[in-house]
């Protein structure tokens, strides 16, 4: 908005001192991050008080699970994701070029997933523990992925089409059309189906994995901040013709504008960590956790780095896998030993003491804050390795 205002004033012959700084992406990205941080730090306490006094939106924590600090968390306000999304959107609208299709897609993604998560949180507070049914959350994610996928395939202003980047190889451009070459003349007409299905899988998987990761104070926020920082660098490199040529990666004109969105994302998550770190003053709720994961997924798809997500989002992968392994094995054990529905699988027989994985380490006696710090350190190492794949081929 500020960029367009200054541009309009310049056309009118009004030259504002320092306006030239807004031409470059780097300055606006830095301004976006600082603004998002300030929004979080200045609005954080008033928002928490409002949630406590006016909304009464307290988180309901299951104390019977025997987790550290569960009783204390029972009266912590939730839906802090509203503040995170606000701190992302305001700097983006202020400093990004609003005629950029990539920015518009990310703004739309943030609003859509924010509404989906908010509806889930609100229903939980007004209908007890029953929030939005899982099938409706999946439907919302699928609809988002469908729209994003079709825009990438058919919108003339979006670069790359169904082509993406494969890590660790020199000739690293891969067209999803290759997957349907066996269809002959039908391949070009149906490649969008395969591409959209891949996008649906990525968006639903990362969004729900982020939701699973949000289980202890600061873990989802810290991991998301690290992932967002790595994606910001990848977006800037992909949108810079010189750097893209140097690293021999796909150059995507105008994609660098997404660096402003991603730095606002990083600023918002770091700012929220100020209040969400142990002991948390507020939780993000599904409003935040579903949105954060979906934002990361769509962002990676737009910059053609979605195949790097299993590495960059390794924390999400292991959290998700721990739940799948635990659930699958417990079902197998029940059938094998013919346990009645009321009888639990013995803890010593389970692959993990409790899932998602971060709860396993809590059950082993590790302090909550230690688990969070270690997960964030691992996320940083994964982010560094992800960025190094630009040269590791």
Task: Output the pLDDT for position 354.
Answer: 92
pLDDT tens for 87-130 read 999 999 999 999 999 999 999 999 999 999 999 988 887 776 67
| Alpha-helix residue ranges (DSSP H) falling in the chain | 2-11, 25-50, 70-73, 81-95, 101-126, 134-154, 187-213, 219-238, 241-247, 258-276, 285-302, 309-312, 314-337, 357-363, 368-388
Considering only CA atoms, give the Rg of the chain.
22
Enter the pTM of the model. 0.92
The Cα 132–Cα 119 span in angstroms is 7
Of the candidate ranges 29-38, 51-60, 137-146, 249-258, the one whose mean pLDDT is the lowest:
51-60
Task: Output the pLDDT for position 167.
Answer: 85
- And the tokens for 292? 């954060």
Task: Output the pLDDT for position 64.
Answer: 46
* 186 pLDDT more than 60: yes
Phi first, then psi, for residue 248 (nearest 5°) are 55, 50
- The β-bridge partners of 277 are none
Percent of the chain topping pLDDT 90: 60
pLDDT tens for 215-266 read 898 999 999 999 999 999 999 999 999 998 888 888 999 999 999 999 999 9
* Mean pLDDT, residues 33-61: 83
The domain limits of the chain are 26-305
- And the tokens for 37? 């941080």
């Amino acid at each position: 908005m500020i960029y367009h205002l200054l541009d309009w004033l310049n056309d009118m012959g009004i030259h504002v001192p320092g306006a030239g700084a807004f031409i470059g992406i780097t300055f606006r990205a830095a301004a976006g991050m600082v603004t998002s941080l300030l929004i979080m730090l200045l609005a954080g306490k008033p928002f928490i008080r409002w949630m406590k006094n006016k909304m009464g939106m307290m988180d309901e924590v299951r104390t019977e699970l025997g987790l550290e600090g569960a009783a204390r968390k029972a009266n912590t306000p939730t839906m802090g994701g509203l503040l995170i999304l606000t701190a992302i959107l305001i700097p983006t609208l202020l400093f990004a070029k609003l005629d950029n299709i990539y920015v518009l897609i990310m703004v739309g993604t943030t609003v859509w997933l924010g509404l989906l998560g908010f509806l889930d949180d609100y229903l939980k507070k007004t209908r007890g523990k029953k929030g939005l049914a899982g099938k409706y959350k999946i439907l919302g994610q699928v609809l988002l992925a469908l729209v994003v996928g079709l825009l990438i395939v058919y919108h003339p202003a979006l670069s790359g089409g169904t082509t993406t980047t494969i890590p660790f190889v020199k000739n690293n451009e891969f067209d999803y059309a290759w997957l349907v070459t066996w269809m002959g003349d039908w391949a070009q007409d149906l490649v969008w189906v395969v591409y959209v299905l891949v996008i649906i899988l990525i968006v639903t998987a990362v969004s729900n994995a982020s939701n699973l990761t949000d289980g202890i104070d600061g873990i989802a926020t810290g991991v998301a901040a690290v992932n967002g920082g790595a994606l910001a660098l990848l977006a800037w490199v992909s949108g810079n013709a010189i750097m893209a040529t140097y690293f021999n990666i796909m150059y995507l004109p105008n994609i660098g504008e997404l660096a402003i969105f991603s730095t606002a994302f990083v600023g918002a998550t770091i700012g929220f960590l100020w209040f969400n770190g142990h002991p948390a003053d507020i939780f993000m709720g599904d409003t935040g956790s579903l949105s954060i994961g979906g934002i990361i997924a769509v962002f990676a798809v737009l910059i053609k780095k979605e195949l790097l997500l299993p590495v960059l989002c390794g924390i999400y992968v292991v959290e998700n896998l721990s739940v799948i392994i635990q659930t699958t094995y417990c079902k197998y054990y029940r059938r094998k030993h013919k346990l009645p529905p009321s009888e639990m699988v013995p803890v010593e027989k389970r692959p993990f003491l409790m899932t998602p994985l971060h709860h396993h380490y809590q059950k082993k006696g590790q302090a909550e804050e230690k688990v969070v710090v270690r997960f964030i350190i691992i996320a940083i190492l994964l982010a560094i390795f992800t960025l190094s794949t630009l040269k590791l081929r």
